[in-house]
Structure 1
Amino acid sequence: MPLDTPPSKGAVSVAAGVLRDRQGRVLVTRRADHRHQGGLWEFPGGKIEPGESVEAALARELAEELGIRVQASRPLIRVPYRYPDKQVCLEVHEVTQFEGEPQGLEGQPLRWLPTAALEAGLFPAANRPIITAVRLPGVYVISPDADDPQRWLAALEATLARGARLLQMRVRGAPGERRPLAEQALDRTRAAGAKLLINGDPPLAAALGADGVHLTARQLAECDSRPLPTPHLVAASCHDPAELARAARLGIDFAVLGPVAATASHPDADPLGWERFAAWTADAPLPVYALGGLSPADRDTARAQGAQGVAGIRAFWGPDTGDAHLPR
Structure 2
Amino acid sequence: MSTRTAAPVARPQRTTSTSGARMSRRRWFAEVGWRHVVGLLAVVYAGFPIVYVISASLSEGGTLTGSNALFAEISTANYAALSDTLFWSWMVNTLVIATVTGIGTVLMGAAAAYAMSRFRFTGRRATLTSLLIIQMFPQMLAFVAIFLLLLGLGNVVPALGLNSKLALICVYLGGALGVNTFLMYGFFNTVPRELDEAAKIDGATHSQIYWTIILRLVAPILAVVGLLSFISSFGEFLIARVILQSEANWTIAVGLYGWVSALLEANWGLFAAGAVISAVPVLALFLFLQKYIVGGLTAGAVKG
TM bracket, shorter-chain basis: under 0.3
Structure with bigger helix share is: 2
Q: TM-score, normalised by structure 1?
A: 0.20
- Using CA pairs under 8 Å that are at least 6 residues apart, name the structure with larger relative contact order, 1 or 2: 2
Asked which structure has the greater CA Rg, the reply is 2
Q: TM-score, normalised by structure 2?
A: 0.21
